[in-house]
Amino acid sequence: MTVQVWTWILVGITFALYFGIAIWARAGSTKEFYVAGGGVSPLANGMATAADWMSAASFISMAGIISFAGYDGSVYLMGWTGGYVLLALLLAPYLRKFGKFTVPDFIGDRYYSNTARTVAVICALIVSFTYVAGQMRGVGIVFSQFLQVDISLGVIIGMAVVLVFAFLGGMKGITYTQVAQYCVLIFAFMVPAIFISIQMTGNVIPQIGMGGKLADGTYLLQKLDTLHTELGFKEYTTGSKSTWDVFAITLALMVGTAGLPHVIVRFFTVPKVKDARKSAGLALLFIAILYTTAPAVAVFARTNLIETVSDTPYTEVPSWFKNWEDTGLIAWSDKNGDGTIQYVGGSALIDKKPIFIEGRGRYGERLISNANTNTNELYVDRDIMVLANPEIARLPNWVIALVAAGGLAAALSTAAGLLLVISTSISHDLIKKQWKPNISEKGELWAARISILFAVVIAGLFGIYPPGFVAAVVALAFGLAAASFFPAIILGIFDKRMNKQGAIAGMVVGICLMLFYMIRFKTGLVGVLDPRPASEWWLGTSPEGFGTIAMVVNVVVSMVVSRMTPAPPKAVQELVEDIRIPSGAGDAQSH
Amino acid sequence: MTNRKKAVAYWKQNLTYLAILLFIWFVVSYGCGILFREELNQFQLGGFKLGFWFAQQGSIYVFVVLIFVYVYLMNRLDKKYGYDE
């Protein structure tokens, strides 16, 4: 059977499964809709959190990014896992004990202020929308790559699917479909990795294979370092970012992870404080399976790629090379006219992406108009490292199809979790808590469903007409979360003296500073201001790492302002004492 | 012990655990994986340079273990103070 038939079959089966679960897990109350009734087992919640967390970016792009960045890619590996330690130790148990539905709920009650609540809602919406746009785009790309469907149609199919299980089941439906999606995506990621590990190093476990020996007796990583040095790339295991920047980015990603509302809200769904702790551990365990495999995949794919294409005559490259060239993710221009692919350090192009022109070259290659004069002749898009890996390693067709189903599971599960946060922010934090406090439960449930509908449509539009800044901004969502929520929540639990003036000032200053730095050095202000060059970064901090500085500023501002203004009321201080004690979480949940 | 005293003692012990566990969290990732990776890279773990291994593998394993140690310690502490349910 062809790859395409296999893909339709596997995507069809997994989608049918998600629909079945959605119908089975319909939500009847707001509590079921927002936090799945608070009765999800830690194991199921751990899997759902892992699926919620691992997006299209983790599944498709991360191994590719590491493959090209080598050691520098470690910031994502440590940053996106280490945050769970903070989450488990500093946030999850206390927020579960507090026992409401959302992060703005906590901020609003702890800081006895609707202003604080509104600031938190705005932060949650900014963070979630930037993040969800990337997911919808991811769904479209997977559809178009594997099923030859138009990207826009792919986005619409994705929207429809997410809508069904989010609309019917709310958090309950989403949680149980995410459990299924986790199983699909981890299976889809591991199978090719294991196959390739066996092929290259003879080891079944990719994590060990990565440090294993090749058939000729040399260590794989040593071989890759040698290849890199010979070809003029920087050494794979060393990297080129400054130590401070690696430090800052890792910290911003960790703290941002712990501050993302769609991750935090998952810990409201388990019955007890004890379960919240345990399920954070299980979530990280499930995430770690993919995150420790990804660097291995990166090394295998990188070595395979170099060995296959470097100094190979174009007429002798395997068929996958030409297939991906046809989709525009690989480009080759024969600069020295020898018909052989020179793949060495330095960019091959003037811009970031190749611009293809009509016609074919001497050897049948696609012509591009923006080749530069460097000796490097090859452009390879980072995303194909995971997508093309099974083909490069000549794995069977069903394995290639599995990767498509896994990519879709990863993108859909994350999109669903984010859409729920957006809809909850509107129906619960704004409508119920601020505009119409006496709305009936049924009314609130419908408000939640209608908000999901709106959120899906807006996210879909972002996916179909992606504004240029989306890709740049997704990575910065972490910086925004780190600069806004994380300090407010941590201080709310660990500093009894923290008051509303301090927290609001901190959040506002933190998020504004982060937005300012983003616009100044990364996105620019469309048509008015171009982003400034890296040489002007403050203290040599990249925009991705700036969340660390904005967070520190937030904490300092909060501390100073709170000590100059009156202490919080007695009732609030008692609330803080109460959330520090784990027992009695069940009672606190009534609303 | 009065309820209040009990709560204070429980919280203090909790903070001690947090300090120790977060110290380890910091050392494996920021210490071994970032700040001191050059020094550690002089040692090999199988085919891995040690600093590189910590950055791309080791720190993640330690993170998982840290959370489960925390779960164990806190469950024990909850029992001791009668806060478990």
DSSP string, A157-218: HHHHHHHHHHHHHHHHHHHHHHHHHHHHHHHHHHHHHHHHHHHHHS-SSHHHHTTSB-TTSS
Q: Let me know if residue B17 belongs to a domain.
A: yes
Per-residue CA distances from A144 to A154, A381, B3 (Å) = 7, 16, 62
| Number of structural domains in chain A | 2
Convert the pLDDT of each residue in B5-57 to its tens digit.
Answer: 899 999 999 999 999 999 999 999 999 999 999 999 999 998 999 999 999 99
Length of chain B: 85
Kindly list the residues of chain B whose beta carbon comes within 8 Å of any beta carbon in chain A. Answer: 7, 10-11, 14, 18, 21-22, 25, 29-30, 33-35, 37, 41, 45-49, 52-53, 55-57, 59-61, 63-64, 66-68, 70-71, 74-75, 78, 82-85
**Residue A468 pLDDT > 60, yes or no?**
no
Residues in B touching A88 (Cβ below 8 Å): 67, 70-71
Query: Tokens 């199809």 correspond to what residue?
Result: A401
* Prediction ipTM score: 0.96
Give percent of chain A with pLDDT exceeding 90.
Answer: 41
CB–CB contact A213 B53 (8 Å)? no
Mean pLDDT for all residues in chain A: 87
Instruction: Select from A319, A345, A380 the last residue of a domain.
Output: A380
- Whether chain B has a CB inside 8 Å of the CB on A213: the answer is yes
Mean pLDDT to the nearest integer, A479-489: 91
A262 shares a domain with A144: yes
Return the DSSP state at A111: T
CATH number at residue A38: 1.20.1730.10
Q: Which of residues 551-570 of A touch B (CB under 8 A)?
A: none
Residues in B touching A90 (Cβ below 8 Å): 18
Convert the pLDDT of each residue in A185-202 to its tens digit.
Answer: 999 999 999 999 999 999
A284 shares a domain with A339: no
Query: What pLDDT, on a 0 to 100 scale, did the predictor assign at position A471?
Result: 56
Query: What pLDDT, on a 0 to 100 scale, did the predictor assign at position A588?
Result: 42
A484 shares a domain with A373: no
Of the two residues A159 and A9, the one the predictor is more confident about is A9
Q: Let me know if residue A387 belongs to a domain.
A: no
A374 shares a domain with A273: no
- Look up the pTM and report it: 0.92
Q: Let me know if residue B67 belongs to a domain.
A: yes
A572 shares a domain with A445: yes
A33 shares a domain with A119: yes
d(CA B7, CA B10): 5
Q: Let me know if residue A118 belongs to a domain.
A: yes
CB nearest to B48's CB, from A221, A285, A586: A221
- Whether chain B has a CB inside 8 Å of the CB on A226: the answer is no
Query: What pLDDT, on a 0 to 100 scale, did the predictor assign at position A591?
Result: 42
d(CA A261, CA A489): 11
Q: Let me know if residue A314 belongs to a domain.
A: no
A113 shares a domain with A168: yes
Q: Let me know if residue A538 belongs to a domain.
A: yes
A510 shares a domain with A415: yes
Structure tokens, A190: 């591991």
CB nearest to B25's CB, from A82, A280, A577: A82
A366 shares a domain with A420: no
**Residue A587 pLDDT > 50, yes or no?**
no
Q: Let me know if residue A133 belongs to a domain.
A: yes
- Whether chain B has a CB inside 8 Å of the CB on A241: the answer is no
User: Which range of residues forms the domain containing residue B37?
Assistant: 3-80
- Assess contact for A464 and A140: CB atoms under 8 A: yes
pLDDT bracket for residue A429 (50, 70, 90)? confident
Kindly report the nearest CA distance between residue B24 and chain A, in angstroms. Answer: 11
User: Which range of residues forms the domain containing residue A350?
Assistant: 330-380
Angle, alpha carbons A368-A369-A372 (nearest 5°): 95
A370 shares a domain with A409: no
Instruction: Select from A357, A380, A403 the last residue of a domain.
Output: A380
A420 shares a domain with A368: no
pLDDT bracket for residue A586 (50, 70, 90)? low
Structure tokens, A209: 């294979």
Query: Tokens 């699909």 correspond to what residue?
Result: A184
Q: Let me know if residue B62 belongs to a domain.
A: yes
A28 shares a domain with A166: yes
d(CA A486, CA A410): 25
Query: What pLDDT, on a 0 to 100 scale, did the predictor assign at position A526?
Result: 62
Q: Let me know if residue B85 belongs to a domain.
A: no
